[in-house]
Structures are given as C-alpha cells and as structure tokens.
Amino acid sequence: MEIGLGVALAVALVLSVIAGVGAYLYGYKQSETRVRAEVKVADLSVEKALEETRTLQREMLLEAKDESIKLKSAAENEIRERRSELHRQERRLHQKEETLDRRTEGFERRERAVAQKEQDAERLHADAEAVKQQQMSELERISGMTCEQARDLLLSRIEDEVKDEGARRIREIENQTKEEADRRARHIVALAIQRCAADQVAETTVSVVPLPNDEMKGRIIGREGRNIRALESATGVDLIIDDTPDAVTLSGFDPVRREVARLSLQKLIADGRIHPSRIEEVVQKSKLEVDAIIKEEGEGAAIKAGVHGLHPELIRLIGRLKYRTSYGQNVLMHSVEVANLAAIIAAELGADVTICRTAGLLHDLGKALSHEVEGPHALIGAEVVKRYGKSGKVVSAIGNHHGEMDEPQSVEAVIVQAADAISGARPGARRETVENYVKRLEALESVANSFAGVERSFAIQAGREVRIIVRPEEIDDLSAVRLARDIVKRIEETLEYPGQIKVTVLRETRAVDYAR
C-alpha cells in the first residue's frame, strides 16, 4: 500500500508538472500573439504618420511653388510697368525735343521774315520817295509853279478868309470849355471826397512776432533746427531769428501765408508746446482761421461798397486784399473807398453807378494773385473778373485803371481811374514821403536820359509811365523801337518799382517857315 501510495503521488506530481508546463506554454503563446498584434498596430500607426508627413510635405511644396509663381509674376509686372514708364518718359522727352526744335526753327524763320520785311520796307520807302519826287516834279511842270509857291498861294488865301474869325471863335470856345470843365471837375471831386470818409492811415501787415524772452528763440529753433524747419515747411514763410531782442521776423512774398505763420507762431508761443507734430496741427488750424477771416472780410467789403451778387471766389479774393498793402495803404480799404468815390462821381455825371461800384471794388483784385501769376495786376484782375461773367464795361474799367490798355472804352472806366487816383493821392493815404517819391521819378528820368539821342524825358502817372522825346535827326523810326526796348531792359536791371512802367518814345519832325 505504501508503494501504491508513492506511485500515486509520483503520478500526481508528474501530472501537475505537465499541467504547469502546458499552462506556461499556453500563456507564452498568448503573450506572443498579443505582442505581434501590438507590433502590427504600431507598424500601421507609423505608416499612417509617414503617409500624413508625405501628404503635408507635398502640400507645403505646392504652396511654396504657388507663392514663388506669384512673386515671380508680381516682379515681372513691376518690371513691365517700369519699362512702360521709362518708354513713356523717353517719348515725352523726345516730343519735348521735337517741340523745342520746331520752336527754334520757327523763331529763326520769323527772324528771317522780319529781316526780309525790314529790307522790303526800306525798299518800298525808297520807291515811294522816288515816286513822290516824280509826282512833285510833274505837278510843278503842269502848274508852272514850284511847290513852295503853290503852298504859299493856298495858305495866303485860306488865312485871309478864316484866320481872324476862326481864331476868335476857337479862343472863346476853348476858354468857356476849360472854365466849365475845371469848375465842374472841382465840384465833383470835392463833393466825392467830402462824402467819402476814410481813415487817414491804413493798417499794414505785421511781420514781427514779439517773444516773452530770448530763451524762446532756442525752443522755436528746436534740436538741430527741426522746429524751425517744420514751421517754414508748413507755412512757406522764412523765419529770421537774429540778434533782435525778444522778436522773430517773418519773411515771405505771400501776405496770407505770412499771416498764417504769424498766428501759428503766436499760438505756439502761448501754448509752450513746440514740436513738429504740434506745429503742423497749429498751422492747419491757423489756415482755417485765416480762410474764415478772408471770407468774412470779403463779404463785409462787398456790403460796405454796395456791390451784390458776386461769385464766392471773387469774395474770397477780395478778402485776401486785407493782408496786402501798397505804400502803407491797405488795399481792401482802398478798394472800398474807390468803389464809393466812383459811385458818387458816376451819380453826378449820370453814368452807370452799378458798373462804377463793381469796377471800383474789384479794380485791384489782381493784387491778390500777383504773387502767383505774372503780369500787371490790372490785367490779371480783368482776366479773373471776365472769367466769372462780369460785363465788358467792368472788365475794361478794371484793366485800364492804370492805363495798361490803349484807351478807356467807356466813361465808367475814366471814372474808376480818377477815383483810384483820388484815393491814393489824398493826404494820409500812403506813407511814401515826398523825398522818396521825387527820388524815384528822378531815377527813372535819369535812366532814360542816359541814352544817346534822348532830348528830354518826363516821368508821369506817379512813375508808372515815362515819356521820352528824342532828336529826330539822330533817332529814326526803327531806332525809336529799339531805344524803347533798351530803356525797358535798363529799368528792369537797375530800378525797383511796384507794378509795371510804360515806356513811350516820341519822335517828331517839324518843318518851320516864315511868311514875310
């Protein structure tokens, strides 16, 4: 029994060992299967990640290609535009060169034509003199008298018939007309001046800005001059900061810009904040303020002068005259005064009062644009007024108030010319002294007298015109034209004067004889 029990135990032990080995092999098999499945899943994840990476790489390559294509297209477009612009500039330059060549050729043809005309004129003059001599010889042969004898006979008969009566009547008419004209003119001018009350001295544009102290000069200049450069650039006016204590001088041809600069600088000094951005802001505000003042002054002047229905642009130009002076006389106040004087004179003479008022108010309108447009202010103003639909009489009166045109086209033009002279010549109207006035006229006459062949010269119309009398035996007709041109050039080079100066050369030939 003990042996059977031992065998049973051995068998049981063997069976348990076999069962344990089988269980171990089964577990190992299951673990290997599970590991293989996880490896397979990991391989699939890696392949999927690689596929996504390759897809992303392809997309990035495509985007990079598109971007490079766009950049290349933009660069090509820019190159084409620059080439087109260069071609256009080359064409314009070529056209300008052709235009200059054509103009040069035209000038040369004109010079040749003028020279040819001068030769033809001289030849015709010589032919005419020859024909005249032939005719005179033939007439003397037919009449049996010389030219002097025929003339003396004719003059003696006419003198016997009309000399006494004609001289007496002419003298009476001249005396009566002169007396009546002088009396009437004195009455009208005196009445007009009495009824037109104006200030004795008009205001002038301020060009000096006071400073609280000299330290402010450094702040206005700024670091390395940035503030003063910004102010000059924004206003278009030069600032002169010198040794003058507590003051800054503003220099500029345009009085409106000078006023904007003055207001801006005063505001900056009062505010204390002075830097480029603040300067631009203050200048813009000052421009708006000056524009409002200009509009208000223009409307007020039109109301004072009794002129209605003006174009807004004309109102604005009239307002700009507030900042313009002529020999110390404010041009806006002068224009209103001329309008009232012209209206009074027109009413006395029975002329058109409305035309005289309008032309008187607008006669110096060109001075508002004389810094922008070249030419006499009278002609500039006439062109501007014509552009805004004013009548021909108004345009003529404005354009001729200093005698720039040939002759006045209407009585209203003469009235406006007289009113302008009265306003400028009344006591206290202008600040130019008599000594300076006389020196300016003497300088003008001395320039004219310095040329050979000039006998006398006279500066008239307050120095706006100089009339030169030449010796006819030294200066012929063609030389008179050249002399006028030479005098004009000399005046432009040596003298300073407002507006323009008209140069008139007079050549006279007299034949004198005595009846004995």
User: Quick check: helix, strand or coil at residue 251?
Assistant: strand
User: Quick check: helix, strand or coil at residue 495?
Assistant: coil
Would you say residue 513 has pLDDT above 50?
Answer: yes
Residue 197 is predicted with a pLDDT of 47
User: Can you give the three-state secondary structure of 185-219, one letter per residue?
Assistant: HHHHHHHHHHHCCCCCCCCCCCCEEECCCCHHHHH
Tell me if 246 sits within 8 A of 210, measured CB to CB. yes
Task: Give exposure, 200-220, as e/b (b: 16+ Cβ within 10 Å).
Answer: eebeeeebebebeeeebbebb
Q: Quick one: which of 423, 3, 492, 399 has its CA closest to 193?
A: 423
Span of 40-49, 212-221, 327-336, 425-434 with lowest mean pLDDT? 425-434
Residue 437 is predicted with a pLDDT of 67
Tell me if 211 sits within 8 A of 217, measured CB to CB. yes
Span of 10-24, 158-172, 247-261 with lowest mean pLDDT? 158-172
Region 179-206: mean pLDDT is 55
CA gap 183, 164 in Å, rounded: 29
Q: And the tokens for 510?
A: 């007299």
For residue 56, CA distances in Å to 63, 66, 67 come to 10, 15, 16
Q: Assign 328 a pLDDT band (cuts: 50, 70, 90).
A: low
Would you say residue 427 has pLDDT above 50?
Answer: no
Task: Give exposure, 292-306, as e/b (b: 16+ Cβ within 10 Å).
Answer: ebbeebbbbbbebbe
Would you say residue 407 has pLDDT above 70?
Answer: no
Count CA within 13 A, CB hemisphere, residue 393.
Answer: 16
Q: And the tokens for 115?
A: 């020279």
CA gap 443, 291 in Å, rounded: 40
CA gap 180, 176 in Å, rounded: 6
Would you say residue 244 has pLDDT above 60?
Answer: yes
The per-residue pLDDT of the chain, averaged, comes to 79
Q: And the tokens for 255?
A: 């009085």
User: Quick check: helix, strand or coil at residue 308?
Assistant: coil
Region 418-439: mean pLDDT is 63
Tell me if 334 sits within 8 A of 385, measured CB to CB. no
- Choices 3.30.300.20, 1.10.10.10, 3.40.1710.10, 3.20.20.10: CATH for 434-506: 3.30.300.20
Residue 310 is predicted with a pLDDT of 83
Residue 289 is predicted with a pLDDT of 85
Would you say residue 428 has pLDDT above 50?
Answer: no
73-87, 426-440, 495-509 — most confident range: 73-87
Residue-wise pLDDT for 456-484, tens only, equals: 899 887 677 889 999 888 888 888 888 99
CATH number of 208-425: 1.10.3210
User: Quick check: helix, strand or coil at residue 490?
Assistant: helix
Tell me if 300 sits within 8 A of 322, measured CB to CB. no
Would you say residue 326 has pLDDT above 80?
Answer: no
Percent pLDDT > 70 in the chain is: 85
CA gap 91, 81 in Å, rounded: 15
Region 314-337: mean pLDDT is 80
Tell me if 336 sits within 8 A of 361, measured CB to CB. yes
Tell me if 432 sits within 8 A of 445, measured CB to CB. no
Residue 505 sits at φ, ψ, to 5 deg, of -105, 125
Would you say residue 317 has pLDDT above 80?
Answer: yes
Residue 414 is predicted with a pLDDT of 82
Question: Cα angle at 445 between 440 and 448, to 5 degrees?
Answer: 130
Q: And the tokens for 356?
A: 């005289």
Q: Assign 130 a pLDDT band (cuts: 50, 70, 90).
A: confident
Would you say residue 363 has pLDDT above 70?
Answer: yes
Residue 205 is predicted with a pLDDT of 41
Region 245-254: mean pLDDT is 77
